[in-house]
Chains A and B, each alone.
Chain A
Amino acid sequence: MVSTVQNTDIEQKDAEHAVVVAMTFKAVFGSDDGDDVYGAGVAFTLLQALQTVNERLLLENPSEMLLFDIILITTDRQQQQQSDRIMSSTRHHGLQIHRFCFSCEDDFTDSLLQNKVHLFLSTDKNETVQAASRGVLSALVDHQTTLCSSQQLKVVFCGDSIVQPDADINAASRQAAEVFSAQLGEMRRRFGALDSPLSIVVMTSSGGRDSCCSALRTLRTRGLSVDEAHCLAGAPRGIILSVLRPHFQLSDGLSGLQD
């Protein structure tokens, strides 16, 4: 049973043009200290960064329709019974969550499909794998996400997976990645080279310069021009990522989700 409730506090986004991002309750909200409202979760600054992009897009063009549309997915039965508290927490933290979606753990992927989600973000690896297997582009968020900027959304594309996609990747996943890349590329073009609230990064971990070059070319054919490129040729990713501080990493297959 899936039910979706619109947040009447804020204006809904244009369904046709919006980029639908679903985030899990556990990603957005953290500790339950028994207070009236939930605390901030690991993806809190990520959500703020998405909002920053929306604000800046509207500042450039008040009638802009290419905007992030945020859905909060709650699968926990206990939390579902506290939907009022979720909504008051959202209000309390000033979060621009457009819709609240309540589903079971078993059918949360249905809710992603029903809501035409372009990107699914979760702290739970199993959930991202499940969503990806149904062709929904998914990314993991973790405690590192908390350190990210709320003023600029930084998205890393895993160059290796673009150059050498996972053989098992299904056509739907491939398409989902391409659709989201194109949307993101279009959004990025709304801003200049400097002072953009959206930064696109390519990182090749194992490949050398040729892999990185193909990744840059491939993303360009998808309409995505890249701001930052990091070519590691086998050097440890972790330390570079700790400087880069991306909000999430995207891969054309599941491989990028595995480390």
Chain B
Amino acid sequence: MVKMSLDPVQVMSGQVKELKVAPSSNGDSRGSWEEKEEFSQDHLGLTTKPKPVTGRRARKVEGGIFFPKPENAVTIAVSSRVLFRTETEQKVFEQKGVEEYLRYQIEHENEPFAPGPAFPFVKALEAVNTRLRELYPQSEELFDIVLVTYNHAHVGIRLINTINHHNLFIERFCMTGGASPIGYLKAWHTNLYLSADADKVREALAEGIAAATMFMPEKLTEVSESQLRVAFDGDAVLFSDESERIFKAHGLDKFFEHERENEDTLLDHGPLKGFLEALGKLQKKFYAKGQRLDCPIRTFLVTARSAASSGIRALKTLRAWGLEIDEALFLAGAPKGPMLEKIRPHIYFDDQMFHVEGAAEMGTIAAHVPYGIAQKHQKVSKKNTTVAK
């Protein structure tokens, strides 16, 4: 069933359905946060251009940079273990326990961590922010990156030193000292949570927060520094796992039959639909300024569905949701690795571990969404990798 050539792949690129963008909906919501009480003190009687009164203000207005309200921004929460490489420290923790681990971290406080799997993604988010700030200097509709870690604050100074070393725009963080980060993810209005801890990711998904587990890949393909490229699997990622359930229970034929019969029925939404939606919202801000062709965000659907009825159902669903995907790739069961290698996404989301592993082997930064029926069949599907649906 699996063909190694990319022949069955059909690419539907750039559906340029014209968008209606009302002038008011271009997201230029002038920062009402500036009217907030805590800011009014140093603002009284001044113009809205704040004077660099305190260190904070000086930092904030430098280059027109300010921090959005969490509910207006697209908030990406990353854990320290996906943003940075912490394998050595992890080993110390596992072998010598928490006290030794903390001592080690403090002793190495001035040695920055190397970039981790989410690092290129975060850099790309910042590149998009730079473009957004140019087009909409006052808008709060930006990516906001929050470092959310259950690390002890003992590690805080090293983490901040590392952020400074790599010159990342991360000013917000929660170090929970071992407590569950889930409540904070909600408080930050998190649109996407990336962590190395599958349990925490599952917990977040159960709370309705888009989340994925990231791994340190053996090799890293170079990715674009100017365009954020995000690739999604369809079933149990953007869509619910209803069709995947049919496939797992009754096989491929029944799956095709089910999809044919339900071609006109929309798929239910999956755990990452909201994140695609958030990306789409930001993309439209570029389109509204005539930058559709030069948009610094590009989205991909990379699905094992075929371009026939099962693919049509996926596209119809996206269209009905008002979501555009820039490129839809229907692999009809072909392995995803080679296609993803060409796309070079900053992150690829899949609910099936063997797709994640397959992508990672070829150098793609892949993240696992532990959601839906595939998690129950994890072990079976790992052995039987020819079944690529």
- A193-B99, A228-B176 known; A210 vs B55 contact (CB < 8 Å): yes
- CB neighbours of A199 from chain B (8 A): 177
B311 within 8 A of A: no
Question: Are B55 and A216 within 8 A (Cβ)?
Answer: no
A242 within 8 A of B: yes
A163 within 8 A of B: yes
Question: Are A230 and B157 within 8 A (Cβ)?
Answer: no
Question: Of A13-21, A24-32, A233-241, which stretch is located at the interface?
Answer: A233-241
Question: Are A235 and B67 within 8 A (Cβ)?
Answer: yes
A176 within 8 A of B: no
Question: Are A213 and B153 within 8 A (Cβ)?
Answer: no
Question: Are B69 and A231 within 8 A (Cβ)?
Answer: no
- A207-B56, A233-B172 known; A228 vs B98 contact (CB < 8 Å): no
Chain B residues 298 to 323 lying within 8 A of chain A, measured CB to CB, are: none
Question: Are A209 and B173 within 8 A (Cβ)?
Answer: yes
A103 within 8 A of B: no
- A229-B175, A230-B175, A234-B67 known; A211 vs B55 contact (CB < 8 Å): yes
Contact of A193 among B98, B160, B188 (CB under 8 A): B98
28 contacts between A and B (CB under 8 A): A192-B98, A193-B102, A199-B177, A201-B177, A205-B38, A206-B39, A207-B55, A207-B56, A208-B67, A209-B170, A209-B171, A210-B59, A210-B164, A211-B56, A213-B160, A216-B156, A226-B156, A227-B178, A228-B153, A228-B176, A230-B173, A230-B184, A233-B67, A233-B172, A234-B67, A235-B67, A235-B70, A235-B188
Closest Cβ of chain A to B184, distance in Å, is 6
Q: Complex formed: what's the CA distance from A88 to B56 in Å? A: 51
Question: Are B173 and A229 within 8 A (Cβ)?
Answer: yes
- CB neighbours of B359 from chain A (8 A): none
Q: Complex formed: what's the CA distance from A60 to B175 in Å? A: 27
Q: Complex formed: what's the CA distance from A259 to B179 in Å? A: 26
Question: Are A231 and B157 within 8 A (Cβ)?
Answer: no
Q: Complex formed: what's the CA distance from A233 to B140 in Å? A: 14
A212 within 8 A of B: yes
Question: Are A233 and B153 within 8 A (Cβ)?
Answer: no
B152 within 8 A of A: yes
- CB neighbours of B170 from chain A (8 A): 209
Question: Are B59 and A226 within 8 A (Cβ)?
Answer: no
Interface residues on B, range: 35 or more
Q: Complex formed: what's the CA distance from A240 to B185 in Å? A: 10
- CB neighbours of B166 from chain A (8 A): none
The number of residue pairs between A and B whose CB atoms lie closer than 8 Å in the complex comes to 113
Question: Are A231 and B179 within 8 A (Cβ)?
Answer: no
A171 within 8 A of B: no
- CB neighbours of B39 from chain A (8 A): 206, 234
- CB neighbours of A227 from chain B (8 A): 152-153, 177-178
**Chain A: interface secondary structure?**
mixed
Closest Cβ of chain A to B179, distance in Å, is 7
- CB neighbours of B178 from chain A (8 A): 193-194, 227
- CB neighbours of A164 from chain B (8 A): 54-55
Q: Complex formed: what's the CA distance from A211 to B172 in Å? A: 11
Contact of B98 among A194, A225, A229 (CB under 8 A): A194
- For A226, A239, A243, which residue has the most chain B Cβ atoms within 10 angstroms? A243
- CB neighbours of A234 from chain B (8 A): 33, 36, 38-39, 60, 66-67
Question: Are A231 and B153 within 8 A (Cβ)?
Answer: no
**Chain B: interface secondary structure?**
helix
Binary per-residue interface labels of chain B (50-73) against chain A in the complex, 1 for a CB within 8 Å, 0 otherwise: 000011100110000011011000
Binary per-residue interface labels of chain B (129-173) against chain A in the complex, 1 for a CB within 8 Å, 0 otherwise: 000000000000000000000001110110011011000001111
Q: How many residues of A contact B (CB 8 A)?
A: 37
- CB neighbours of A235 from chain B (8 A): 67, 69-70, 172, 188
B187 within 8 A of A: yes
Binary per-residue interface labels of chain A (214-257) against chain B in the complex, 1 for a CB within 8 Å, 0 otherwise: 00110000000111111111111001101100000000000000
B183 within 8 A of A: yes
Question: Are B156 and A212 within 8 A (Cβ)?
Answer: yes
B174 within 8 A of A: yes
Q: Which residue of B lies closest to A241 (CB)?
A: B187
Question: Are B171 and A208 within 8 A (Cβ)?
Answer: yes
Q: Complex formed: what's the CA distance from A242 to B170 in Å? A: 23
A50 within 8 A of B: no
Q: Complex formed: what's the CA distance from A182 to B36 in Å? A: 34
A202 within 8 A of B: yes
- CB neighbours of B33 from chain A (8 A): 234
Q: Which residue of A lies closest to B175 (CB)?
A: A229
Contact of A225 among B55, B154, B175 (CB under 8 A): B154
Contact of B177 among A192, A228, A240 (CB under 8 A): A228
- CB neighbours of B152 from chain A (8 A): 193, 227-228
Q: Complex formed: what's the CA distance from A123 to B161 in Å? A: 39
Q: Complex formed: what's the CA distance from A144 to B250 in Å? A: 53
Q: Complex formed: what's the CA distance from A259 to B40 in Å? A: 13
Q: Which residue of A lies closest to B101 (CB)?
A: A193
- CB neighbours of B67 from chain A (8 A): 208, 233-235
- CB neighbours of B174 from chain A (8 A): 228-231, 240
